Structure 1
Amino acid sequence: MYRYRNESVSMEEYLQIRENSDSLLEYIDGFIYMSPSPSTKHQRISSRLQIKFGNFLEGESCEVFSAPYDIELKDDKIEGTRIVIPDISIICDKSGFTDARYVGIPSLVVEILSPSNQSHDLITKLNLYMNYGVKEYWIVNPMLNTITVYALNDEKMYEQHDIKTDIGEISSKFLNGFRVDLNYIFSSS
């Protein structure tokens, strides 16, 4: 993930650039960020997690969305427009759906790191999601075969709920009873 340009742009400029681009472009605090194309391992991990979340949520009111899908983070207490494209989003409040995107706050977000976007996902997005009140944030590191789950505490701050590397089951605090085996997620076949 890198900045598309080094100068700040308006929301209108972002939408115009986006309309004329095939790239995945996010808009955060006036800056445009561009995602690299995902690797094979990234796509496998995303697909497997999406299947597991989807199966778990079958018959429930929450829905799973995978990239590319725009999330316009919206909270009346926070000024500005921020549009992100998480690898996976779980949305339980259906009131924010539009034809083009979701406007609101997802309940759970998963970001899968790539070598070029680590600081963006580990710092910028972690703070962004925490400030907006995303209940749970999963950071998947395919280079280390690690998954870290952050959950909002009573003070509206993220605390580490679970972390696993290579083996074992990772659990969700938000989705009570949801567990997934790391061997399945990171397997190369």
Structure 2
Amino acid sequence: MATVTTPHITLQEFLKLEAEAPEGVTLELIEGKLVERPSMTTRGAWHSFVLAQLVARLVLWQDSKLDFQGSVAAGEVRCQLDPESESVVGIDVGVWDQETPSFDPPLYEGPPVVAAEILSPSDTVQGVSSKTELYLKSGVRQVWILDPVWKTVTVFRKGQKPILLGDDDLLSGEGELPGFSVPVSRFFGKLKDVASPSEVH
């Protein structure tokens, strides 16, 4: 991920730049600084499979909670994490305790209570760590990192040690998503048993 050398920019300036960005480029705003990275027009089969499994179970949970007024969204969801730090990112999957936003501006305003990222071969340890830290700093209460290669989920909470979950464990949303509990194996169960990182997208 390469940082473009620019002065501090506002949300409105970012949205204008984003609308004018050339094809194949994704822009994010990290604490007022413009960040540019190659965009992916399609996702690999594994990434898409894990994304679908997670979203399906979150939507089932959402539908079972009649008193839940929030929303589940997926697919590089545009979100202004913190108006004061002016950070706009794309999130693989998020659960917000607010209703679906309006289209002006076309993004969620405020952090999700849970943010999930599904690892791809292009992800780096530094990049994932930085994004996780930004999420927690901005008020995301749980961050889930799903790894299709190792078939694990790592759960991060601010001020706590990460928790690594494997096939025999349950991913619980307790606290933020009461009643949400899914075996980790359900996210990866139909993937091939053996794979190299180059096969996962």
TM interval, short-chain normalised: 0.7 to 0.9
* Cα distance in 2, alignment partners of residues 119 and 8 from structure 1: 25
Query: What is the deviation of 1:121?
Result: 4.8
Percent of paired sites with the same residue: 22
Which letter does structure 1 place at the counterpart of 2:73? F
* Paired AA for residue 51 in structure 1: A
Closer/same/farther in 2, CA of residues 179 and 165 from structure 1, 3 Å limit: same
Name the structure 2 match of 1:67.
75
The count of aligned residue pairs is: 178
> Which of 24, 27, 39 is the aligned partner of 1:25?
27
Contact preservation (8 Å) 1:163, 1:170: no
Paired with 1:177 and 1:159, the residues of 2 have a C-alpha distance of 23
Distance 1:137 1:158 in 2: 12
Q: Which runs of 5+ in 1 are unaligned?
A: none
Query: For 2:37, which of 34, 52, 59 is the aligned residue?
Result: 34
Deviations 1:119-150 (A, max 9, x none): 35532111111111111110111222110112
1:148 is aligned, of 151, 154, 179, to 154
Runs of 4+ that moved beyond 4 A: none
TM-score relative to the length of structure 1:
0.81
- Does the residue aligned with 2:157 lie in a helix, a strand or coil? strand
- Could you tell me whether the CA contact under 8 Å between 1:130 and 1:158 is conserved in 2? no
Task: Name the TM-score, length of structure 2 as normaliser.
Answer: 0.76
Residue identity in the other structure for 1:63: S
Q: Larger Rg: 1 or 2?
A: 2
Structure 2: how far apart are the matches of 1:144 and 1:185? 12
**Structure 1 position 88 matched with structure 2 position 93:** yes
Q: Report if aligned partners of 2:114, 2:141 keep a CA contact under 8 Å in 1.
A: yes
Moved more, 119-128 or 131-140: 119-128
Structure 2: segments with no counterpart, 5+ residues: 193-201
Q: What amino acid maps onto 2:82 in structure 1?
A: K
The answer on whether the counterparts of 2:144 and 2:156 sit within 8 Å (CA) in structure 1 is yes
Deviating more after overlay: 126-135 vs 15-24: 15-24
CA contact (8 A) 2:80 2:109 kept: yes
